[in-house]
Amino acid sequence: MRSLIDIKELSLEELDSLINTALDIIANPSKYNEKCRGKKLATLFFEPSTRTRLSFEAAMYELGGNVLGFSEASSSSSAKGESVADTAKMISCYADIIAMRHPKEGAPLVASMNATIPVVNAGDGGHNHPTQTLADLLTIKRKKGRFNNLTIGLCGDLKFGRTVHSLISAMSRYEGIKFVLISPTELQIPGYVKTEVLDKNGIEYVETTDLVGAMPELDILYMTRVQKERFFNEEDYLRLKDSYILDLAKLSNAKKDLCIMHPLPRVNEISVKVDSDPRACYFEQALNGKYMRMALILMLLGIK
């Protein structure tokens, strides 16, 4: 029985295999629509979500399975004081696989140590978000056709942005990757990501506050939302929230084949005028998330 808590748990071969399954699902959807008949996915969301929860649910329905769960901590027994460990043990009696989002870093790991069914981390606090990275990887594959020799700009809240931490971890395993880390100084990438991921893998990176200056060299620009819910005081959030707003003028020096990504939800980070630029990939990225979650569910349930 296997869970997915951190993207590093998947080998490069397994990532390739998930991507190939997702591409086959896109090409031959009818081959897959009975694969999870009789299986149940439990979505345990202790934090708000639109894409992650609904794409997990859509993924399970498109595989012919069923879904149960909750979308607010207040409607579950955690509001009565039940521990994550007990909740995980209980849900193991009712479902075949769990997708869990939680504001506390490490909560899905605790769930996986107590569940008797696979647990997928659907976002734990400001830490990790491996299934968003699966969506990101399929997007990069479909848009760029490769995972090596790419200069990747990550812009916005690199401190609390869990999608950024997981994406850096995944991309640091490929050759010829350079990261340009664009953020206000207060929202720079955490020290542990630098030492344990970037430095450990000998990855080239620069930190800057200048989005426009970085633009010409980027193959991928990954914009992120300032993570309001992780701030200790509102004043800091209000001061930092609109640090970067990507508009068409800022793209004037960008490569013609730049791939603009964003895990969404967007607040102000990308002007809606950018949406119709052919370089905008973020809505397609959200769709790719459903296919990768389908591939992941099949893998964790051991279904061929």
Q: Which residues bind ligand NCD (CB under 6 A)?
A: 51-52, 123, 129, 132, 162-163, 225, 263-265
Cβ-based nearer residue to ligand NCD, 104 or 200: 104
Cβ-based nearer residue to ligand NCD, 51 or 241: 51
Cβ-based nearer residue to ligand NCD, 29 or 48: 48
Nearest to 67 by CA among 96, 109, 89: 96
Backbone angles phi, psi at 273, to 5 degrees: -65, -25
3-state secondary structure string across 150-191: EEEEEECCCCCCHHHHHHHHHHCCCCCEEEEEECCHHHCCCH
Please confirm, yes or no, whether 51 is among the known catalytic residues. yes
**SS3 (DSSP) at 41:** strand
Please confirm, yes or no, whether 139 is among the known catalytic residues. no
Minimum distance between the CB of residue 266 and ligand NCD, rounded to whole angstroms?
A: 9
Q: Which residue matches tokens 């897959």?
A: 32
Q: Are 201 and 135 in contact (CB under 8 A)?
A: no
Minimum distance between the CB of residue 106 and ligand NCD, rounded to whole angstroms?
A: 16
- DSSP lists the bridge partners of residue 178 as 151, 204
The first and second tokens of residue 40, run together, are 């149940």
The active-site residue, picked from 35, 53, 101, 141, is: 101
The active-site residue, picked from 52, 131, 133, 163, is: 52
Please confirm, yes or no, whether 80 is among the known catalytic residues. yes
Minimum distance between the CB of residue 263 and ligand NCD, rounded to whole angstroms?
A: 4
Cα–Cα distance between 2 and 221 in angstroms, integer?
Answer: 33
The active-site residue, picked from 51, 53, 127, 141, is: 51
Minimum distance between the CB of residue 262 and ligand NCD, rounded to whole angstroms?
A: 8
The neighbour count for residue 34, using CB atoms within 10 Å, is 11
Question: Is the link from the previous residue into 265 a cis peptide, with omega within 30 of 0?
Answer: yes
Please confirm, yes or no, whether 262 is among the known catalytic residues. no
Cβ-based nearer residue to ligand NCD, 35 or 158: 158
Cβ-based nearer residue to ligand NCD, 213 or 265: 265
Minimum distance between the CB of residue 267 and ligand NCD, rounded to whole angstroms?
A: 8
The active-site residue, picked from 35, 53, 127, 129, is: 129
Tell whether the torsion through CA atoms of 101, 106, 112 and 118 is positive or negative: positive
Please confirm, yes or no, whether 37 is among the known catalytic residues. no
Q: Which residues are catalytic?
A: 51-52, 80, 101, 129
